[in-house]
Chain A
């Protein structure tokens, strides 16, 4: 697949790339220039960080950041632990009902918590957790996607290694920790990146279960902030928008290759 490229095709590829970057470039332009230049592009426009300062002071973005980081870490740890245990059970234990249990897990790939907002809201209400960060995390802690991905990886671990560990007297959990987990590292990285970016960006469910600053993640904070009724100008909204996506965007630029590969790995599920 490394055929020569027609010059016209190269031009088209580049044009499409520029077109694809344009909305982002615009967001940065508007965030980094005074409001007067938000819509008029001129090379002589002065640069400024004023919009970020004002956005930061107009809404509790510090708190939103903290909430989002806590949320994402909570979900990631929960998913990694629960998926590892479940995947291990499916990959290496023969037991009655495992087929049905696995099918019931896979059901969540299609019918994600995103769709069951009404009943999940009731459930969170019954648990008395409304408007808390755990409320946002709970429906996502058991991830069918994570279980599936890890099960596939665990299945490829050679049984000789497991046997060797068993001969040395390791129990099931020690075998999991010493043999399976280290060998599945690339899968953990892939799943971690996909999960973190998904939950950093998630919006509808956090919007539903939170209504106070103390629990709101960045995305919901941004939506509240950007509501046109509040009458803030575009430069400030774009500054807030850039702030919301900056950490993920920055991580993506740094670990581009891992990102793309992890999405690929996760994609070939």
Chain B
């Protein structure tokens, strides 16, 4: 009997200890939780709710069910922005990753001036996109911009790089590669420094060529990093729109509109926040898909232990 009493008092103590633990933990979480709820979770739900409404001309909103989605499906600018986002990702990601890998391999060696090379490759990363856009805007200026001056040397005439639907996307892609490659380099550099040098030495002893070693040993070992960088790059490609405000405003003729920029325009220029919500849902679905791949598969295997 008394044994039982002791047991239950220990259990009660343990239970109250656990309860006290939980109270403490939630108190610690409270400030961050309130802000996360207010600026991440609630807005996500509110976005979904608003996507079923339309904004009337007088600013009030009316429930229309899936109508907004039907209008979106019929909206050529939406499809244009989505397609642009696809080409933008395809244009920037593989090239920046390849360059990043090359840079990382170079600055990981005992090459002369290694510190300077690292600095040079990484510098664009710390610059504000808006400043970068200002500088590159000048390169692309018709006639007296740097690019046209170079063309002039070879006897070509001026070209309105950002004003021509066929060249505008290419111009932005080149600029973003310049801005991002150094950032991805850092991930590869970190990965390279964790690789055992023995492998390469062994390959060298075996007489394997450098290209062969890279192709058969280094690159496969870096595969997790490549996937990780690629996923982050995809997410980035949906968020990167600062330069459009300065350089093109999505033009000419929507040739450079990206999804987030279109959302911004619909919400804050056309004042149609309900339709902007519908568009945002598409962006959320895209990002969640990427997130599921990232958490469900990649990070479990690779980066979160």
Instruction: Digitize B133-164: 1 where CB-to-A-CB distance is under 8 Å, 0 elsewhere.
Output: 01110110000111001000000000000000
Q: Which of chain A's residues has its CB closest to B275's CB?
A: A118
Nearest first, the 7 closest Cβ-Cβ pairs linking A and B are A119-B43, A17-B120, A93-B25, A201-B128, A142-B35, A110-B291, A95-B22
Whether a CB of chain A sits under 8 angstroms from the CB of B280 is yes
Which positions 9-25 of chain B face chain A at CB distance < 8 Å?
18, 21-22, 24-25
B260 touches A115 (CB 8 A): yes
Whether a CB of chain B sits under 8 angstroms from the CB of A2 is yes
Contacts of A248 in B (CB 8 A): 126-128
Which of B47, B186, B241, B273 is packed against the most chain A CB atoms within 10 Å?
B186
- In the complex, A23→B140 CA distance in Å? 12
Whether a CB of chain B sits under 8 angstroms from the CB of A44 is no
Instruction: Digitize B245-271: 1 where CB-to-A-CB distance is under 8 Å, 0 elsewhere.
Output: 110000000000000100110011000
- In the complex, A95→B241 CA distance in Å? 41
Contact of B109 among A3, A201, A253, A267 (CB under 8 A): A3
Whether a CB of chain B sits under 8 angstroms from the CB of A14 is yes
Given A18-B120, A39-B146, A269-B303: A204 and B264 within 8 A (CB)?
yes
Q: Which of chain A's residues has its CB closest to B48's CB?
A: A119
Whether a CB of chain A sits under 8 angstroms from the CB of B7 is no
Name 14 extra pairs, CB < 8 A, besides A122-B273, A123-B42, A245-B127: A13-B103, A20-B123, A104-B41, A106-B295, A111-B288, A142-B34, A204-B264, A222-B130, A223-B245, A226-B134, A226-B246, A237-B134, A268-B190, A268-B303
Given A94-B18, A118-B263, A241-B135: A203 and B280 within 8 A (CB)?
no
Contacts of B280 in A (CB 8 A): 115-116, 118-119
Which positions 264-299 of chain B face chain A at CB distance < 8 Å?
264, 267-268, 273, 276-277, 280, 283-284, 287-288, 290-291, 294-295
Contacts of A94 in B (CB 8 A): 18, 21
Whether a CB of chain A sits under 8 angstroms from the CB of B192 is yes
Number of A-B contacts (CB under 8 A): 275
A23 touches B178 (CB 8 A): yes
- In the complex, A223→B47 CA distance in Å? 28
Whether a CB of chain A sits under 8 angstroms from the CB of B56 is no
B121 touches A20 (CB 8 A): yes
- In the complex, A122→B33 CA distance in Å? 19
Which of B50, B110, B130, B192 is packed against the most chain A CB atoms within 10 Å?
B130
Query: Which stretch of A78-86, A159-167, A181-189 is in the interface?
Result: A78-86
- In the complex, A90→B283 CA distance in Å? 30
Contacts of B99 in A (CB 8 A): 16
Whether a CB of chain B sits under 8 angstroms from the CB of A192 is no
Q: Which of chain B's residues has its CB closest to A79's CB?
A: B32
Whether a CB of chain A sits under 8 angstroms from the CB of B98 is no
Given A244-B130, A267-B187: A101 and B33 within 8 A (CB)?
yes
Whether a CB of chain A sits under 8 angstroms from the CB of B205 is no
Nearest-Cβ distance from residue B113 to partner chain A, whole angstroms = 7
B128 touches A252 (CB 8 A): no
Q: Which of chain B's residues has its CB closest to A94's CB?
A: B21
- In the complex, A219→B127 CA distance in Å? 11
B146 touches A83 (CB 8 A): no
Contacts of A123 in B (CB 8 A): 38-39, 42-43
Contacts of A1 in B (CB 8 A): 105, 108-109, 192-193, 195, 197, 200
Contacts of A207 in B (CB 8 A): 245
- In the complex, A12→B113 CA distance in Å? 13
Query: Which stretch of A45-53, A59-67, A255-263 is in the interface?
Result: A255-263
B130 touches A223 (CB 8 A): yes
Whether a CB of chain A sits under 8 angstroms from the CB of B80 is no
- In the complex, A14→B106 CA distance in Å? 10
